[in-house]
């Protein structure tokens, strides 16, 4: 997957968000709104996974193979911080 896939998924999310907004404006059934919110969250999660995979396969690998230990530590810390943020629930 690549950035084009991520952009396409974001366009889908954008449609979900507009749909959710209309549902709320039309006072549609709450559970239906929640299902649409969950679909948007799932799509955003997929985008996050695409971007992270690209980062791991490019920036992280470049840093790990590089000569600069500070850069290696910095990039590894970034990944750990993202993971910690994602799992702090």
What are the DSSP calls for 57-82, one per residue?
Answer: IIIIHHHHHSS-HHHHHHHHHHHHHH
Q: Which band of pLDDT confidence, cut at 50, 70 and 90, is reported for residue 3?
A: confident
Look up residue 56 and give its DSSP letter: I
Q: Model-level pTM?
A: 0.80
CA 67/CA 76 separation, integer angstroms = 14
Q: Which band of pLDDT confidence, cut at 50, 70 and 90, is reported for residue 1?
A: low
pLDDT at residue 61 tops 70: yes
Domain enclosing residue 20, as ranges:
3-86
Structure tokens at 16: 């979900």
State the CATH number of the domain containing residue 70: 1.20.58.1000
- Residue tagged 């500070």 (tokens): 70
Number of domains in the chain: 1
Structure tokens at 83: 């993971």
* Residue 51: count of CB within 10 angstroms of its CB: 14
């Amino acid at each position: 997957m690549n950035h084009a896939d991520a952009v396409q998924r974001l366009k889908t999310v954008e449609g979900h968000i507009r749909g959710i907004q209309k549902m709320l404006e039309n006072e549609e059934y709450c559970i239906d709104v929640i299902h649409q919110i969950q679909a948007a969250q799932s799509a955003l999660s997929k985008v996050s996974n695409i971007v992270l995979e690209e980062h791991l396969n490019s920036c992280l690998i470049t840093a790990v193979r590089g000569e600069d230990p500070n850069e290696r530590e910095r990039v590894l810390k970034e990944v750990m911080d993202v993971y910690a943020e994602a799992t702090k629930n």
